[in-house]
Structure 1
């Protein structure tokens, strides 16, 4: 094997090994099981294919020009004083402009259609879930059902889930890749997210924003169940021995890693609002002091 052959073989072999190694990877973002996730996957695919209308011809033309005007090709036209072509100018400006305009319209429409604050239309009554990002775990409160869980989210298939999200620590990001939607959780603030799936399953939930040493294990499971299974899950939670009062929550909120699933049969109804308010109260005091000093 000569030197040139070796140079070509090494990257090809590396690419083959990488392809085999990645063949078992699951691209959850593109294998959506939720209404929002499917719309986002379609948007990603459409935008990618549209941009390839420019990328692929440019790559092919680059290779063609390099081959056509190589030094050994004596039949190629030699025009050292050539400086302008109206046809080429029209192509290189008009086509990208049309693509950019199309992508702009597509982005504008999808931004409004996939607004995370926009409730999903459904004849089924939604289920409300309050989410609190902690170090390094997730707390899910069901205000209408009076229960809570740590690192496990459950909801019935075909039922819209309305999330209210905050943080009792640093800024974080709530994300269930297969169901779509990713939104920040910030202390003293509430963000919203609406999801819906018609596929029962056990989906991975993650923290999508670095939040310290326990970040890599800040994961939860999102369980989409039939109504009967959800009722059974709810019964199991209501039979849990622990109640989530403000005092118990103080212990839950302490930094911990690789936290196991934990259920609470009852919840202080003001817990979520108190978590948000404790930061706003501090801001109000600071603001009042600033006004007074001013």
Structure 2
């Protein structure tokens, strides 16, 4: 019963936040369609509830004190020599300490559970997607299928997706709000992200890191499809007459804005590796630990 009450409170708070933030462009984060996104939304709601335990009483007491000790209230007790209250001291130290401890445990637990490098547990074989951030578009390579697309990502519903992410330009941030958290795409480096879509749909994807004049249109669509529909999409891509060799890639990677969706029926199998290696004298930096930017998850 207690667990259901907590989940109900979290859902209620999320709905309230959605209403209050109805004018915000990233409202999708409060309407998750995957287990990772759902866990992140619940974490946000839980953190807000914890902080409101301090914020709401402080606001209420501020208004109460202003009313209680207003100049016109002659009945308020005047104690100019009052200097100490054991009860107040206990309250102002104990309550914040307990909240900090709660948030510390929550942070430790959620940091490990929601580590973007941590593979998702599933009986379904994951699909691998290599992501390259360009100026100002996204290139998605399916190494196991030998196909690629620009500004459109298709994934099967209920299937974990293992993303390998890099950039062939300035730093970007790969973000699908309804499926889960963002992670940086950096030239010469390979970061990782694991997501899953639990419901079929057409979800927005974007860069969450400013990257120049074409940044505002650096968007893509994520198509979460049934296995049959996904296979049909793969067949559609393979029917394309366009291919993505290293020479063709140089033309595709040229800066451009508002790029339409494009399909490539074949891809150089070493393309993703070569994009990273060109910045590292032929070596591939596998994660942020290699660049002294933090530990590997």
**TM-score scaled by length of structure 1:** 0.88
Query: Is the partner of 2:188 in helix, strand or coil?
Result: coil
The answer on whether the counterparts of 2:277 and 2:283 sit within 8 Å (CA) in structure 1 is no
Spell out the pairing of 1:51-70 with structure 2 (5 A cutoff).
51-70=51-70
Higher-Rg structure is 1
Separation in structure 2 between the aligned mates of residue 144 and residue 175 of structure 1, nearest angstrom = 23
Deviates more, 1:150-159 or 1:78-87: 78-87
Separation in structure 2 between the aligned mates of residue 33 and residue 274 of structure 1, nearest angstrom = 34
Match of 2:292 in 1: none
Kindly report structure 1 stretches of 4+ aligned residues shifted beyond 6 Å: 23-26
Query: Residues 218 and 126 (structure 1 numbering): CA distance in 2 closer, same or farther, change over 3 Å?
Result: same
Match of 2:74 in 1: 74
Separation in structure 2 between the aligned mates of residue 240 and residue 105 of structure 1, nearest angstrom = 51
Separation in structure 2 between the aligned mates of residue 249 and residue 180 of structure 1, nearest angstrom = 29
Query: Is the partner of 1:281 in helix, strand or coil?
Result: coil
Spell out the pairing of 1:273-284 with structure 2 (5 A cutoff).
273-281=273-281
- Following superposition, the deviation at residue 21 of structure 1 comes to 10
Separation in structure 1 between the aligned mates of residue 97 and residue 198 of structure 2, nearest angstrom = 39
| Structure with a larger share of its residues in helix | 1
Query: Residues 68 and 102 (structure 1 numbering): CA distance in 2 closer, same or farther, change over 3 Å?
Result: same
- Map Cα deviations across residues 83-105 of structure 1 (whole Å, 9 max, x no partner): 11111111011001000100010
Deviates more, 1:254-263 or 1:24-33: 24-33
Query: Is the partner of 1:243 in helix, strand or coil?
Result: coil
Query: Is the partner of 1:62 in helix, strand or coil?
Result: helix
Match of 1:212 in 2: 212
Q: Any gaps of 5 or more consecutive residues in structure 2?
A: 1-18, 285-297
Match of 2:187 in 1: 187
Query: Residues 33 and 283 (structure 1 numbering): CA distance in 2 closer, same or farther, change over 3 Å?
Result: closer
Q: Any gaps of 5 or more consecutive residues in structure 1?
A: 1-18, 285-294
Deviates more, 1:26-35 or 1:66-75: 26-35
Match of 2:34 in 1: 34
The answer on whether the counterparts of 2:21 and 2:27 sit within 8 Å (CA) in structure 1 is no
What's the C-alpha RMSD, in Å, of the aligned pairs?
1.7
Query: Is the partner of 2:52 in helix, strand or coil?
Result: helix
- Map Cα deviations across residues 54-85 of structure 1 (whole Å, 9 max, x no partner): 00000000000110011111111001111111
